[in-house]
Amino acid sequence: MIKTDASIFFDKFAVTFDTFYDGKRNALMQLIDKNFRKDIFLRFTYTFDSFGNLKNKTLIDIGCGSGIYLLEALKRNAKHITGLDPATEMLKLTEARLSRNGFIDKFRLIESIFPATNLGKYDYAIVMGVMDYVKDPSTFLKELKNIISEATCVSFPSKHWFRTPFRKFRYSLRKCPVYFYDENEIKNLAKSAGFSKVMIKKIQGAGMDYHVTLMP
């Protein structure tokens, strides 16, 4: 399998990344996360609010990381879920999370970057915290449209005069290129990918991601 700079980075960062969610970080880091990484929690809420009832639906989480969204989708009675991520260590965390919650037969994990071939079709797709690392967002969104029938929620990092160059610099030290978007770029990308409905919400807070719901 092709390994991108992002997947190499996330392989090493997987365990630390997972501690954002489970409150296992020290008090100072929890304070920083609460104030500067609020987006991570808000985009979770916005995603499940956008999808509504998932009972008997199928869903793919592209760049599923440690499986937080997949677990929630199963708790909301999704019929079957698929997690795709190129980082082996992230997939191990996902597998452990879903299995210890008793969802042994309800998921499939794929170690790959997206776009990938033969993924099949899903009612919904989640793409959270991934567009930051995608060099060709146009092809990515076109392929995304092909595999869903109802809706997809995608987060895009916004451009900020201070945070953007600072984050670019930090990630260049990790040899992991990062990309940023404005609202017009998102609209144009979604339109040229063929999505008929585009709903863009700007998350207020330090990270200021866009939370975008797209319908084919």
Ligand X SMILES: C[S@@+](CC[C@H](N)C(=O)[O-])C[C@H]1O[C@@H](n2cnc3c(N)ncnc32)[C@H](O)[C@@H]1O
Name the residue whose CB lies closest to ligand X: 65
Tell me whether residue 56 or residue 181 sits nearer to ligand X (CB atom). Answer: 181
Q: Closest distance between ligand X and the C-beta of residue 138, in Å?
A: 13
- 87 versus 190: smaller Cβ distance to ligand X: 87
Inter-residue contact 196 to 215 (CB < 8 Å): yes
The smaller minimum CB distance to ligand X, of residues 103 and 133, is found at 133
Q: How far is the CB of 106 from ligand X (least distance, A)?
A: 19
CA distance 74 to 168: 35
Q: How far is the CB of 75 from ligand X (least distance, A)?
A: 16
Q: What does the longest C-alpha to C-alpha distance in the chain come to? A: 46
* Rounded Cα gap, residues 109 and 84, in angstroms: 6
Is the Cβ of residue 22 or residue 56 nearer to ligand X in the bound state?
22
DSSP states of 99-112 as a string?
HHTT-TTSEEEEE-
* DSSP code string of 107-143: EEEEE--SS-SS---EEEEEE-S-GGG-S-HHHHHHH
From start to end of 47-89, where are the E strands? 58-62, 80-85
Smallest separation (angstroms) from ligand X to the CB of 140: 7
Binding-site ranges for ligand X (CB under 6 A): 6-7, 10, 62-65, 68, 84-87, 90, 113-114, 128-130, 133-134
Q: Shortest distance, CB of residue 136 to ligand X, whole angstroms? A: 9
Nearer to ligand X, 114 or 122 (CB): 114
Q: Which amino acid is at 120?
A: G
